[in-house]
Structure 1
Amino acid sequence: MAAPTSPIAEPHETKGAAILVAAAAAVGGFLFGYDTAVINGTVDALRNTFHLGSVALGFVVSSALLGCAVGAWFAGPLGDRLGRVKVMLIAAGLFIASSIGSALAFSPVDLTIWRVIGGLGVGAASVIAPAYIAEVSPAHIRGRLGSLQQLAIVSGIFVALLVDYLLADAAGGAMEAMPWGGAAWRWMFASATIPAIIYAVLALQIPESPRYLVRRGRLAEARDVIKRLIGGDVEKRITDIKRTVAGTTEKVHLSILKGPKFGLQPIVWVGILLSVFQQFVGINVIFYYSSALWASVGFSESDALLITVITSITNIVTTLIAIALVDKVGRKPLLLVGAAGMVLTLGVMAWCFSTASQTIGANGETLTTLSPAIGKVALVAANLYVVAFGMSWGPVVWVLLGEMFNNKIRATALAVAAAAQWIANWLISTTFPALSNIGLTFAYGLYALFALLAFIFVWNAVRETKGRELEAM
């Protein structure tokens, strides 16, 4: 077959199209953030509605994360077999089913099952979106487009928390009935159906990944996608992709990840540890439990939810900073600066809670009280911690996971790393209620230690990927 007569696409012709397509794919990240954060406003309502202790509550809150790990694990191989877009559609369907089921839950077991189903969709989206965005992005803006995933995640967190706040405020509390019927916490879960439907519609409008198309031998379609979205010498890029996927089959096995170090290739271990450290610094404690945490130290329920909304806005702003810097400064410097900032801010939070007084509430629960001055310091430190994470580890880890693996192993290696991330997220989220019973000083001190270990790990093990083509990985 003759090559197209115009194999060269100019960068300015492709940039706008690539941004639009990447943004559409990143809506999966919006659902990822929305689904995992919407639980925040329901925590106290779930505790009281279903009479849950701290351990049971921690499990119900974090149950979706188990589904996330499973969804992430299978999303990579499914993406290589069915295509990236079909997996996005499956994820959207799981989101819709979960939001409706969670809203109608009649027991903690029932709710847990629906949350796990939603987690399957979250996990799948967390793998497919960064892989797809990396594969349709020109190298010179790949970092910024890859950061759209995190921007969508934090935007989803913000919208979920804002919806929680507005619904709770309208009803007079998360357990109270809305004017049209049903407790506010049930409508918090139901609200996720709207972005899930939008995600499904957008997924139907975007093209398939050129790397997937080349793997399946659909070269004419691959040429068209590369010309429209990536640009450059189309035929050379097709040849490079063929070379880097040579020897792979439609049926992908985890055996392609095998290597000499503890059974896996070194680059796969780097991806796994990046994912684990991203969670072990405790970021999701802020977004899953913050409203209950601030209420426990003296803020009203309404004020605690509002503080959480403000924190999520901070996260969005700092993600925009990362988008502006990631292709200029690079991935590794941002990770190092962010880790150092988290060590300092988590250390301050640990100190603040070391000054707290403990009292026993009417129901036998332990109440933590900070002085007004120390409470303000803790609030500032928590938001600066979000700044440190949001301009570094939040977006940059997803950028690296989407681009650091070669074409043969990308989707499968990303799936393994993302599954590890969700398991780490589950461990942190499940153990926080128990750790907080030991003491918030201990909990935040532990997260500060992990931030320090993350700094050391990046310094020694992470390689810069700024400006490199995927075929050069």
Structure 2
Amino acid sequence: MPDPTATGESGPLETEAVHTRRIVTVSIIAALGGFLFGYDSSVINGANKAVFYQFQVANGFEQGFVVAVALLGSALGALVGGRLADRYGRKRVMVVAAVLFLVAGIGTAFPFGVYDFMLWRVVGGVAIGLAAVISPMYISEVAPAHLRGRLTSLFQLAIVVGIFATQLVNEVIIRFTPNSPQQPMLNPDVPPQQANNVLALNLEAWQWMFICMVVPAVVYWALSLTIPESPRFLVARHREEEATEVLATIYVHEPSAKVASIRNSLDGEVRSGMRDLRGAALGLKPIVWIGITMAILQQFVGINAVFYYSNLIWAAVGFDESKAFLTSTIISAVNVVFTLVAIGFVDRIGRRPLLLIGSIGMFVTLGILTLVFQTAPKCTQAILDAGGQSGCAGQSELNTPILGVTEGRISVLALNAFVAFFASTWGPVLWVMLAEMFPNRMRAAALSIAVMANWIANFIVSMSFPGLVQVSLGLAYGLFTAFALLSFFYVKKYVRETNGVELEDMAELEAVRASRAAPITTALRDGPPTAAP
């Protein structure tokens, strides 16, 4: 049932009677794109070393590119996702994303070479980019205002459940794979891995990791065919009778007034485009820049470096591979649990307070990690020449910190606390806000640009992190700490609360924001004032 105590900054919210089971079911189906988002983006974590051996990728930069290339596809998918959603509908784009996930799962499991493998990773990335735009957009457009935060947060919950599922699937596959090496040593820099051993049907373990993605892709495809089209898309395409029918399955009372409100908010626009985003602040409207900046900050606190390179991080700080899988699985479980915490609070205390709490928590926990990594003794060539020790046994561990028992425990606790703060705040709240903060006339285009910025930032972090680790793990985490602090002050100054505001009323928030930004944009355009003669 709707929660009558949900509040925003303006006080108690008036809730509407809705068919709760129907709207939750539709939202869960749409959120399945997030599950595949999480699975596809993190499956490489368990297969990366085996893939490097399979194709003899020894260069560090090339290894990073093989891992991160899917992010370029994600940026492309995000860029075109809004336009496709406005032209063909939200539902059809979901179906296309599901098919691309299916194709990517099969292609990455059966590549002919490294470039072929990378191509299929890009295809999967495009599917992720489409899902990142279309799923939260669709949920926000069908959800009533008083439930919108919780329902849109299901997308982030699906992402972290997908990541968690990947960890479990990879570990189960490894446990059933023979331990003894079956492949020859071709290059000591990329030795054969357990995942290079044959598991079943003459297929190696790393191939099965990708094949397993086919099952949820098929489920997502089948279920996405059963949900209705977004009523806001239908109104924009002048299909108001169909929109009324869809809204009647969501709201208990007659929805004609809501259809009229949607029609008025669109202000005559059939579909949004880049022209709707243009403004005086460096070519874009202030609200678009706010969305872009929030999307970038979410990545620059380093969350995906933790997941994409989690096994490598834990190996670098003294854990063997089996413990690295265990610690990564624990982190994923923490991610899931605290995303549920966010779902419980996002419509109660609001989006902005959660973001501020998250920024403070991430700053403190990342600061602790930075201090631990920076003050710990480093793996040096002298130690390697002397025969090495735990945490410093090969060239790949050169310059990484050597943690003692106490330091190791502190780093594990701080890292899990960081994930908890992110998962309960910036993780889901960003998707909620991006899906709802833009007025109807520009939502698809603005959401596409912001999500593309998120993926580009993700790519930058993923590509730069291995190099930063080689210089100093403390330096890498120090940069993440700085961005966590910056995110606090940015939210405090620029981000307005959207809790409980109808999507059709977001234009009013934009008008207030634009009026406050007018002196700033005028200064940017005209330069500093000159003294009167």
Q: TM-score, normalised by structure 1?
A: 0.95
The answer as to 2:50 corresponding to 1:45 is yes
- 1:281 pairs, out of 281, 298, 301, with 301
Question: Offset at 1:108?
Answer: 2.2
Q: Residue 293 of structure 1 corresponds to which residue in structure 2?
A: 313
Aligned pairs for 1:51-62 within 5 A = 51-62=57-68
Q: What stretches of structure 2 of length at least 5 have no aligned partner?
A: 1-14, 180-193, 385-391, 507-533
Looking at secondary structure, tell me which structure has more helix per residue: 1
Which region of structure 1 is more displaced relative to structure 2, 105-114 or 381-390?
Answer: 105-114
Q: Which residue of 1 aligns with 2:126?
A: 120
Q: CA deviation at 1:181?
A: 2.4
Select which of 260, 266, 279 maps to 2:280.
260
How many Å apart are 1:365 and its aligned residue? 2.3
Quick one: which of 6, 15, 18 aligns to 2:23?
18
Task: Say yes or no: does 1:427 pair with 2:466.
Answer: no
Q: 1:133 to 1:356 in 2, by over 3 A?
A: farther
Residues in 1 aligned to 2:435 and 2:323: alpha-carbon distance in whole angstroms: 38
Q: Aligned-pair distance for 1:232?
A: 4.7
What are the within-5 Å matches in structure 2 for residues 199-348 of structure 1? 199-250=220-271, 252-348=272-368
Q: Deviations over 1:368-395 (max 9, x none)?
A: 3211211111111110000010000000
Q: Which residue of 2 aligns with 1:74?
A: 80
Aligned-partner Cα distance in 1 for 2:211–2:57: 22
Q: Which amino acid aligns with 1:384?
A: A
Q: For structure 1, which runs of at least 5 residues remain unmatched after alignment?
A: 1-9
Counterpart of 2:92 (choices 86, 92, 99) is 86
Which one is further off, 334-343 or 96-105? 96-105
**Deviations for 1:392-412, whole angstroms, at most 9, x for unmatched residues?**
000000000111011101111
Partner of 1:178: helix, strand, or coil? strand
Larger radius of gyration: 2
**Aligned counterparts of 1:356 and 1:216: Cα–Cα separation in 2:** 63
Q: Distance in 2 between matches of 1:329 and 1:253?
A: 33
Contact 2:17–2:251 at 8 Å: present in 1 too? no
Matched letter for residue 397 of structure 2: T
1:147 counterpart (127, 137, 153):
153
Counterpart of 1:82 in structure 2: which amino acid? Y
Q: Distance in 1 between matches of 2:226 and 2:68?
A: 33
> 1:364 is matched with which residue?
395
Say which of 396, 402, 408 aligns to 2:435.
Answer: 402
Q: Mean Cα displacement is larger for which, 45-54 or 313-322?
A: 45-54
Q: 1:362 deviation in Å?
A: 6.7
Q: How much does 1:12 deviate?
A: 4.6
Alpha-carbon distance in 2 for matches of 1:52, 1:97: 28
Residues 1:390 and 2:423 are matched in the alignment: yes
Equivalences for residues 441-452 of structure 1 within 5 A: 441-452=474-485
Instruction: Kindly provide the CA deviation profile for residues 226-260 of structure 1, in whole angstroms up to 9, marking residues without a partner as x.
Output: 1212455511111111111122134x421111111
Runs of 4+ in 1 over 6 A off after TM superposition: none
Question: What is the aligned partner in structure 2 of residue 102 from structure 1?
Answer: 108
Counterpart position of 2:516: none
Q: What is the rounded CA distance, in whole Å, between the counterparts of 1:230 and 1:127 in structure 2?
A: 25
Once residues 184 and 192 of structure 1 are traced to their aligned partners in structure 2, the CA distance between those partners, rounded to angstroms, is 14
Scaled by the length of structure 2, what TM-score is found? 0.85
Give 1:447 shift: 0.3
Aligned residue in 1 for 2:168: 162
Looking at structure 1, the residues matched to 427 and 364 of structure 2 have their Cα atoms a distance apart, in angstroms, of 17
Q: How many residues align?
A: 463
Q: CA deviation at 1:47?
A: 2.9
Q: How much has 1:161 moved relative to structure 2?
A: 1.2
What's the % identity of the aligned pairs?
Answer: 46
